[in-house]
Amino acid sequence: MSKIEFINITSTSDNKTCYLNQVFLEKNKGIVNDRYYNNFKSKKEQVTLINQEEIDIFNKKIGKNVAYKDFRRNIIISGINLIKYVNKKIIIQNVTLKIHELCQPCNYLQNKLAIPNLVKMLVNKSGVRAEILSSGFISVGDKIKVY
């Protein structure tokens, strides 16, 4: 069963991220109160998702326990490999997302977490970017349907 494990936002790029139990995703705008809400370069940047399993593997490799929220992705999910759904749609509650592309790690994250080679270790494992096709609330524990 695939589901949402954590939801994570921040109001500005330089602030710490925080977990929330529920958020509102607005079509063509993003997650209400998130740093990218109505402030993105492309529709594919409205929301980011990452697999909890990839973070767990990464933490095991480096022998640390970096918090899921510190990877700065909005929705941490389990039970499905997001990479297989690039150019496809997923549904969470009544919200439909179109996954557009991989969301590669960046030097900002590597420097923020002070983990050498983070970028290299997380290439193609750092989540996906998605567009919000229909608005609605999502919550931790919600199941994910794919099609």
Q: Which of 14-23, 83-92, 107-116, 136-145 has the lowest mean pLDDT?
A: 107-116
Give per-residue pLDDT as tens, 100-144.
Answer: 999 987 777 777 777 888 778 788 888 999 999 999 999 999 999
Cβ atoms of 75 and 48 within 8 Å: the answer is: yes
**Nearest Cα to Cα of residue 9 among 104, 138, 99:** 138
Give per-residue pLDDT as tens, 31-64.
Answer: 999 998 988 778 888 999 999 999 999 989 888 8
pTM (2 d.p.) = 0.92
pLDDT of residue 1: 85
The letter for the amino acid at 118 is L
